[in-house]
Amino acid sequence: MGLPERLVSKRGSRLARLALMPFNISIPAAVEIGKDFRLVHYGFGTIILPEVTIGDRVRIYHQVTVGRKDAHLTRDQSDFERIVIGDDVVLFPGCKVLGGPGVTTIGNGTMIGANAVLLTSTGENEIWAGNPARLVGHRKDL
């Protein structure tokens, strides 16, 4: 576990949140994170909303945003509930996972390609890429 992951695990502490600032990482204490979470390349520029659940063995690269697609609305006007990221998911550099109404789910083993903009839920072991992201294949390595 590297320094950013250790700081994220202690993000309930004001000191840990301040120490994450040079990495430009914003992962609120309300985010539920499973075991063996990794921020690859230190996770520089990673932004995650509080209403997110992250499964086990998830890898997040730099410049990833996990948020809601109706950010122009106030939270009380939004139908967004939360985003659930399954186990063994990989979010590659620059991808954006933007949840819509209700719960958006990223299935176990899914990979979201670099700079993809995902606006919908996914199945398990899928590969999504593009803007807007579309299903381009299935993982066979799990």
Please list the pLDDT of the chain residue by residue as tens digits (142 residues): 788 899 999 988 889 888 998 999 999 999 999 999 999 998 999 999 999 999 999 999 999 999 999 989 998 899 999 999 999 999 999 999 999 999 999 999 999 999 999 999 999 999 999 999 999 999 988 6
The pLDDT score that the predictor gives to residue 17 is: 85
The pLDDT score that the predictor gives to residue 30 is: 94
The pLDDT score that the predictor gives to residue 132 is: 96
36 by Cβ neighbours in 10 Å (0-12 / 13-18 / 19+) ranks as middle
The pLDDT score that the predictor gives to residue 4 is: 87
Could you tell me how many helices (H) and strands (E) the chain has, helices first?
2, 14
117-118: strand order across its sheet: 47-48, 65-68, 96-99, 117-118
Nearest to 71 by CA among 48, 102, 52, 99: 99
Q: What is the mean pLDDT of the chain?
A: 94
